[in-house]
Amino acid sequence: MDTPVNKKKLSLKEKYSYLTRDLAWEPSYQKKEDLFPYATYEGIKVHDWEKWEDPFRLTMDAYWKYQAEKERKFYAIIDAFAQNNGHLKITDARYLSALKIFLQAISPGEYAAHKGFARAGREFPGVGPQVACQMQAIDEIRHAQTQIHAMSNYNKFYSGFHAFADQRDRIWYTSVARSFFDDAMSAGPFEFMIAIGFSFEYVLTNLLFVPFMSGAAYNGDMSTVTFGFSAQSDEARHMTLGLECIKFMLEQDPANVEIVQKWIDKWFWRGFRVLGLVSTMMDYMLPKRVMSWREAWDIYGEENGGALFNDLARYGIRPPKGWKDAGEAVDHMSHQFMLALYQWNFGTAFHSWIPSDEDMDWLSKKYPDTFDKYYRPRWEHIKKMDEAGTPFNNFGLAKLCQTCQLPTVFSEPGDPSSLCHRETEYKGETYQFCSDHCCDIFKEEPEKFIQAWLPMPALFQAPLNGDLEAWMEWACLENGSDNGDFKGSHDQVSFQKWREMTTSN
């Protein structure tokens, strides 16, 4: 039988329609509410799923084609990296701390995002977001895999790369990123999209990936540049999905605006706290720095976020509640956080160090209003203690924030010499917070956040009962190798020795 041949090539729009919208069907023997039980309980009203537009119009056939090309490029470079002693080409072994934090805290987040999008794709009743979420779910698992694969080359030579999967669940600073994703994944599909698709991907992901990958390029780390850019090439599509999703919700019903605004307030602040880790990488951990955290914030936070919220104003959306406090905190957070990481470095699966005089001069140039006044005196004192042979360790473990799970190291808005403490009571229990915003997030959903697994209080419960050594073993933290000051570490000694071997006989 002759099949009629359609001579004309399909337009992008037609192809998209055939390969996306036409895959949907109306249920005949089950009720729609039973098929999609999570679609309405969050209060978001959708009248017409057909109004969903996917601006990229990417269909599965094109998706596989381009993703395969990205993988081929990625593995060509990873092979070249391994064959050419890439692990010795980085500027300095201090750089590895940034990578270790990435592997322990961020890569598992990619895997969590994969699970989240797979679920969101199943729970949305509209075929447009179903297909887009499915692609993003596959992207995210690809990101986790390529990152782990790329960094496995460093694991052959250096400490701190060997147990990221357990450490993700068991170490205090990684629980920050973990709780962020757990919170998003235990929300409904619409909140998940605002949390990850919009707040994280659109508003914040540039601050994570773009300066970090440029930093890797500056510091000779070919494998990280490669996985970073390979992942980032999907990111533009994710950002578009996040923006599309928020516009869709806002346009479907005016009653959605208030709910969406509350989620934006919540998830901007939660994302901003997770990014505290990135600020230390940019300001302190890159031996050769690209730009300061403040400069990155000005471009990707202030300017880009400003443009976005200007645009969303037409729906009645305002910038997130924590926006102004975040802008102020940017001049302080990397210093507050790095001082914390240093004093608790017996409990970190990466190394930290006292910044050199040259580093401190760079920091005072980049932070003229804050570094010399508040943070240099602390570092100078810590340096003096170190030179006297009594290096500073803070064995008083930290008070953690019930919401973001970070140690409460941040200062009071408007008063950098006072720590910010917030406390509330719920059903007779006391809860501690790092900021007004984290406290407000808790008060919106206390039944959720009272269940948080906080690593410091957990250490004093069964089965660890306060035994720090037992904790290290449980957290797969090799004492004397993974943790502590960079000075005198295996990483420092090995890197120096191997580098000398590459230039002499």
Partner 1 sequence: MSTVFIAFQTNEETRPVIEAIELDNPSATVHQEPAMVKIDAPDELVIRRETIEDQIGREYDLQELQVNLITMSGHLTEDEDTFTLSWK
Partner 2 sequence: MSVVSRKEYIGVPRDRVENFNGNQLVYVGWDNHLLFASAFLLFVSPETVFRDMVQNNVIPLIGADPDAEKIDWDSVTWLKGNQPWTPNWDETLAANGIGHKMLLRFKTPSLNSICG
For partner 1, the binding residues (CB under 8 A) are: 11-13, 55-58, 62, 66, 69-70, 73, 205-206, 209-210, 213-215, 217-218, 225, 229, 232-233, 235-237, 239-240, 243, 290, 303-304, 306-308, 310-311
Residues 6+ apart with CB under 8 A from 123: 36, 38, 39, 188, 189
Residues 162-201 that bind partner 2 (CB under 8 A): 188
Structure tokens that stand for 489 in this block:
């570490």
Query: b/e for 478-495, b at 16 or more Cβ within 10 A?
Result: beeebbbbbeebbbbebb
Q: Which of 31, 462, 463, 504 binds partner 2 (CB under 8 A)?
A: 462
Q: Is the dihedral of CA 124, 208, 211, 296 positive or negative?
A: positive
Residue whose tokens read 């600020």: 279
Note whether 338 and 298 are within 8 A (CB). Answer: no
Chain mean position to CA 334: 15
Nearer to partner 2, 21 or 378 (CB): 378
Angle (nearest 5°) at CA 471 between 469 and 476:
100
Which among 246, 239, 249, 174 has a CA at the least distance from the CA of 204?
Answer: 239
Among partner 1, partner 2, none, the one that 12 touches (CB under a kind-dependent 5 to 8 A) is partner 1
Q: Which of 56, 75, 157, 392 binds partner 2 (CB under 8 A)?
A: 392
414 sits near partner 2 (criterion: CB under 8 A): no
Q: How far is the CB of 4 from partner 1 (least distance, A)?
A: 24
Q: Which of 21, 115, 247, 378 binds partner 2 (CB under 8 A)?
A: 378
Residues 289-318 that bind partner 2 (CB under 8 A): none
Residues 325-344 that bind partner 2 (CB under 8 A): 336, 339-340, 343-344
Q: Is the dihedral of CA 284, 210, 327, 444 positive or negative?
A: negative
Among partner 2, partner 1, none, the one that 243 touches (CB under a kind-dependent 5 to 8 A) is partner 1
Query: b/e for 392-428, b at 16 or more Cβ within 10 A?
Result: beeeebbbbbbbbbbbbbbbeeeebeeebebeeeeee
Decide the pairing of beta strands 415-419 and 422-426: unpaired
Among partner 1, partner 2, none, the one that 218 touches (CB under a kind-dependent 5 to 8 A) is partner 1
Q: How far is the CB of 91 from partner 1 (least distance, A)?
A: 12
Angle in degrees, 0-180, between the axes of helices 60-83 and 222-252, rounded to the nearest 10: 160
Q: Give the whole-angstrom CA distance, residue 266 versus residue 262.
A: 6
430 has which bridge partners?
425
The helix or strand, by DSSP H or E, that contains position 409, with its residue range, turns out to be: none
**Choices 98-106, 160-168, 172-180, 376-384 (CB under 8 A): range interacting with partner 2:** 376-384
Q: How far is the CB of 452 from partner 2 (least distance, A)?
A: 6
Q: How far is the CB of 236 from partner 1 (least distance, A)?
A: 5
Contact flags string 7-36 toward partner 2, x per CB under 8 A: ------------------------------
Structure tokens that stand for 160 in this block:
């701190």
Nearer to partner 2, 216 or 330 (CB): 330
Nearer to partner 1, 144 or 204 (CB): 204
441 sits near partner 2 (criterion: CB under 8 A): no
Which among 482, 485, 496 has a CA at the least distance from the CA of 386?
Answer: 485
**Choices 28-36, 75-83, 171-179, 441-449 (CB under 8 A): range interacting with partner 2:** 441-449
Among partner 2, partner 1, none, the one that 373 touches (CB under a kind-dependent 5 to 8 A) is partner 2
User: Can you give the binding site for partner 2, defined by CB under 8 A?
Assistant: 37-38, 41-43, 188, 336, 339-340, 343-344, 373-374, 377-378, 381-382, 385, 392, 394-399, 407-409, 411, 417-419, 421-423, 427, 429-432, 444-448, 450-454, 456-458, 460-462, 465-466
